[in-house]
Structure 1
Amino acid sequence: MLFTIAGATAAIAGNPKSVVVTNNTSYTMTEFYASSSDSSGWDTTNNLFAGQTLGPGQQTTITISDSGGDGDSECNYDLMAVLYGTTQATYSYSVNTCGGGTWAITGM
């Protein structure tokens, strides 16, 4: 199943980037966050999944929009997915979202 989720926020600016996420776990993904790889911490105020879920074996394209600064040139993002029923989140670092980035979540 392939569907698209746009990171909906009132502060969307800059050029959108995207990442194809595949959930290869036995858990449902309920939240998704992206922070610039240059950032020192996570921005957990903008859940790019916005009430959607991604079940085991499913795939989606998530649009990542810059929310300010010199975001037009930013391509590398650290990604965090929250999987329902697990005790920790899963992460992927320095994903190039300008070049058709992909992330297959595994190992849970």
Structure 2
Amino acid sequence: MLNVLARRTMVAALMTAATLGSMGFQSRDGQDRRVLIINQTGVTMTHFYASNSGQDNWEEDILGSEVLPSGRSIRINIDDGTGACVYDFRARFVDGDVLNRYRINVCEITEYRYTAN
């Protein structure tokens, strides 16, 4: 009896974890907007912005107080709740460089790589 109860509890916990885990990554329209941002520039990224291409201004810095050293990556859920798939990216680096990339379809890609020029 105890083994059956323990198994049921474990199955319920795993199903709950799977449901909660997927809730933060898939929007209401079913599109997965998670993008792995990869920094291979040789310079630490200090700021990263992803703004709906229909906007005139950059949204908040997604990295916040964190940085993204060269050779590292971060997975970001780029979903502003509007259903948009096309975003503009802006990355700022510790050396002062700013790289803007326009019209990135985050519903079609799973990673975006910044490389040294």
Q: Is residue 95–residue 102 contact of structure 1 (8 Å, CA) maintained in 2?
A: no
- Over the matched positions of the two proteins, sequence identity in percent amounts to 27
1:104 counterpart = 2:116 = no
Equivalent of residue 43 in structure 1, options 42, 53, 58: 58
1:34 counterpart = 2:44 = no
Equivalent position of 1:6 in the other structure: none
Hey, what's the Cα distance between the residues in 1 that align with 2:115 and 2:57? 21
Hey, what's the Cα distance between the residues in 1 that align with 2:85 and 2:110? 10
Q: TM-score, normalised by structure 2?
A: 0.64
Q: Which is richer in strand?
A: 1
Q: Which SS does the other structure have where 1:99 is aligned? A: coil
* Structure 1 gaps, min length 5: 1-13
Q: Is residue 92–residue 103 contact of structure 1 (8 Å, CA) maintained in 2?
A: no
Hey, what's the Cα distance between the residues in 1 that align with 2:111 and 2:100? 13
Q: TM-score, normalised by structure 1?
A: 0.69
Q: Which is richer in helix?
A: 2
1:47 shift after superposition: 1.0
* Bigger radius of gyration: 2
Hey, what's the Cα distance between the residues in 2 that align with 1:32 and 1:42? 14
Deviation readout 1:22-43 (Å, 9 max, x if unpaired): 111111111111111122x332
| Number of corresponding residues | 88
